[in-house]
Structure 1
Amino acid sequence: MSTEQLTRAADRYPTRLDTRLDPIDRVEPTVWGPPAGGPLTESDLQSMERNGYLVRPDAVDSPWLPTLQSELERIAARADSDDPRIIREPGGSVRSVFQPHLFSDVISEVVTLDTVLPVARQLLGSDVYLHQARINLMPGFTGSGFYWHSDFETWHAEDGMPEMRAVSCSIALTENYPYNGSLMVMPGSHRVFYPCVGATPRNNHTSSLVKQEIGVPDRATLTAAAERFGIDQVTGPAGTALWFDCNIMHGSGSNITPYPRSNIFLVFNSVENQLEAPFSADEPRPEYLGARTHQAFSTAALVG
């Protein structure tokens, strides 16, 4: 048996297929750590296990917010158009900036706050590292949305993440209203993996970060998922942290209001869930999208 056949035999979540495959029940738990393992209560953990997401108000205190907002403006203003970590909207405005913790001491400090890092360690039940970090900017009138998708589908297919043992933390730096492109999630959908149809193009990330077309379920699948799980919209003031499981179905609409929406987006992966060869791509995505060179970091300091 070839190496490729062995890899496919071990792949519990096949995707990017030639033909449609039925949804696959999740194998791994959502919450890996005990109630005594961090700041989350047993009720918090039960909610995360049931819904696949958890809203934590005041993850960043009010005195921090002006500094962070100014830092995002500074980064966006100085963004180098030739830097692949800078993702722009078709009109030219900055959409996302990856690895901001490597060139911003302010953002790197946010990662290690008591309201952030210990939560990630508790949810994943282990030491953790940053699989990916970015800032997202959705300016008024021009900010485009993110189509429905599961992050794990991409991380599995293109980064080689073997298990559903990662969690995202989105920290709002502006008010999230129901009408300015705030995130929508399908609560409970994290318990089901939806295989997608369509092979991964070479260097797919160069276009998918602006508009994702590969690795998204078809409309019939999304309709069935929405009818089964419903849709929640996450709103709240600046400083609120939204924690959501790597496999939950989520997306956001475009922002046609005058009110901008921005956030710091952190993806924590367990050190026991090391990346392998991509399951459905010829080569892994760049380091700034899926970190392979890393060390676990403690609550004292960030290690890139």
Structure 2
Amino acid sequence: MWGAASNGPLDDSELETHSTNGYLVRPGTVGGDWLSVLRDELSCLDADADPSDPRIIREPGGTIRSVFEPHRFSEVIGEVITLDTVLPVARQLLGSDVYIHQARVNMMPGFTGTGFYWHSDFETWHAEDGMPAMRAVSCSIALTENFPYNGSLMVMPGSHRTFYPCIGATPQNNHASSLIKQEIGVPDQATLTEAAARYGINQVTGPAGTALWFDSNVMHGSGSNITPFPRSNIFLVFNSVDNQLVAPYRAQAPRPSYLATRNSELNSFPTLTT
């Protein structure tokens, strides 16, 4: 956490929570009038999806799992990034101007939605994208209610203070399979057992419109959804403009730009004022 209470909408208590736990929950980030529009927009993305578009990631059964760069498909989703409850928070947490490193919508349908195994995002962003430092933050905005039983995210509070390196070389084009099931760049069971014993596990639940802000290095994951209740969210990764990508540290080539915005493609947001 790089900013101070004087730099944005978060007060000292919220900043301390994020600094201590590596995450912060903010209900009401997106209001009810926005939620219905955004859910309709997701339905349109699903209906209009081009089967050959690599930005559309599908479950083994064919249902859509994720759509990358949704802000380039949808002006409405693009507007969410610049909401007063979103962009200023990212700038405050990172203590600088920011840009979108990655954006996607995740759709976990009822009965068949598969989870995301335990991982730290920074492991991939550093090794495969060339992100120099842990000066990035993720914002996951719930478009449906997150119950304890429909695959809501689990985090290990405080784990952002420890980097758990993963063994093994990164295969060429690893992203092609890891977006469906990640097997490279994830901790082994002994590491996860130690981390869970040290930090514990919290589950993040809450109504639609709630935002979860979490550090790039916090350990997190989710289970599958075998309930009738679908779960969907907008997932935004903000990176500091002072932390722009370089050559990958542990990969033969960078991942595609829809997974990791390179320096020449920085977003243009209103200039930060202090």
TM > 0.5: yes
What is aligned with 1:128? Answer: 98
1:177 aligns with 2:177: no
Write the distance in 2 (CA, Å) between the matches of 1:295 and 1:267.
Answer: 13
- How far the C-alpha of 1:77 sits from its partner, in A, is 1.3
Which of 1 and 2 has greater Rg? 1
Partner SS state of residue 212, structure 2: strand
Structure 1 equivalent of residue 81 of structure 2: 111
Equivalent pair of 1:172/1:238 in contact (CA under 8 Å): yes
Aligned to 1:13: none
- Partners of 2:53 and 2:112 in 1: how far apart? 22
Looking at structure 1, the residues matched to 34 and 73 of structure 2 have their Cα atoms a distance apart, in angstroms, of 18
Give the match's secondary structure for 1:193. coil
Q: Which amino acid aligns with 2:232?
A: S
Q: Give the gaps of 5 or more residues in structure 2.
A: none
Equivalent-residue separation in structure 1 for 2:81 and 2:232 (angstroms)? 16
Correspondent of 2:265 among 294, 298, 303:
294
Task: Verify the 8 A CA contact 1:146 1:253 in the aligned structure 2.
Answer: yes
Q: Is residue 163 of structure 2 the alignment partner of residue 193 of structure 1?
A: yes
Return the match for 2:245 from 264, 275, 290. Answer: 275
The answer to whether the 8 Å contact 1:127/1:296 transfers is no
What percent of counterpart residues are identical? 73
The aligned amino acid for 2:229 is Y
Query: Is 2:231 the counterpart of 1:231?
Result: no
Q: Would you say the 8 A contact 1:183–1:251 is kept in 2?
A: yes
**1:118-160 Cα shifts (integer Å, max 9, x gaps):** 0000000000000000000000001000000000000000000
Query: What do residues 141-184 of structure 1 show as CA deviations (whole Å, max 9, x unaligned)?
Result: 01000000000000000000000000000000000000000000
In the alignment, the residues of structure 2 paired with residue 126 and residue 294 of structure 1 have an alpha-carbon distance, to the nearest angstrom, of 18
- Which amino acid is 1:298 matched to? F
Post-superposition offset of 1:296: 4.8
Match of 2:225, as an amino acid?
N
Structure 2 CA distance for aligned equivalents of residues 168 and 297 of structure 1: 19
* Counterpart code for 1:120: A
Instruction: Give the whole-Å Cα distance in 2 for the aligned partners of 1:268 and 1:256.
Output: 31
Please report the TM-score for the alignment, with normalisation by the length of structure 2: 0.97
Deviation at 1:295, TM superposition (A): 2.9
The within-5 A match list for 1:25-104 is 31-104=1-74
Across the two proteins, how many residue pairs are aligned to each other? 270
Alignment of 1:146 onto 2:146: no
**Residue aligning to 1:155:** 125
Give structure 1 regions of 4+ aligned residues with deviation exceeding 2 angstroms. Answer: 293-300
Identify the residue that residue 232 of structure 2 maps to in structure 1.
262
d(CA) in 1 for partners of 2:270 and 2:42?
Answer: 24
- Give, in angstroms, the shift of residue 198 of structure 1: 1.2
Q: Tell me, yes or no, if the aligned pair for 2:119 and 2:221 is still in contact at 8 Å.
A: yes
CA distance in 2, matches of 1:242, 1:299: 23
Normalized against structure 1, the TM-score is what? 0.88
